[in-house]
């Protein structure tokens, strides 16, 4: 079974229709999930990160809340990191000069033997050598 880790930027671009490629990609992923061919994982803080992205992408509070409600209904398996995981994530963040948050998605894909999908070109450019990552 495929294991996907999508960061908040992919979901934001898809739900807000900011990028057609992200929208089509997420539709394909969720079709695979419905057919039981894939599982989507995310760090347990993704709801906060997604909400923060809405806060700075939309000027309409009601629309942001509606978008957050849509997002929270998606079939995502939430993952809680252990302190030992966070130590490794911090090491990755220092190594590639990235945020701990971005590095945590990538780390999650690595430990699950899945693939991390991001719309963040800067992160992709810095950390692609780590593997298990695709730019959407």
Domain ranges within the chain, ordered by starting residue: 2-135
For the whole model, what pTM was predicted? Answer: 0.91
Residues found in the chain: 136
Average pLDDT over residues 98-106: 97
pLDDT band for position 123 (50/70/90)? Answer: very high
CA 25 to chain centre: 13
Percentage of residues in the chain having pLDDT higher than 90: 88
Average pLDDT over residues 6-25: 86
CATH superfamily of 2-135: 5'-nuclease (3.40.50.1010)
Average pLDDT over residues 36-40: 97
Q: Give the span between the Cα atoms of 136 and 123, in whole angstroms.
A: 12
Show the tokens assigned to 73: 């209904």
């Amino acid at each position: 079974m495929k294991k996907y880790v999508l960061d908040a930027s992919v979901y934001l671009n898809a739900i807000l229709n900011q990028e057609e490629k992200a929208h089509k990609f997420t539709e394909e992923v969720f079709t695979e999930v419905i057919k039981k061919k894939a599982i989507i994982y995310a760090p347990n803080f993704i709801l906060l990160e997604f909400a923060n992205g809405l806060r700075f992408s939309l000027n309409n509070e009601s629309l942001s809340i509606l978008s957050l409600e849509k997002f929270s209904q998606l079939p995502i398996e939430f993952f809680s990191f252990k302190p030992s995981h966070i130590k490794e994530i911090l090491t990755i963040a220092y190594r590639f000069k990235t945020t701990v948050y971005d590095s945590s998605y990538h780390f999650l894909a690595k430990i699950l033997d899945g693939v991390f999908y991001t719309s963040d070109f800067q992160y992709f450019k810095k950390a692609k050598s780590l593997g298990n990552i695709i730019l959407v």
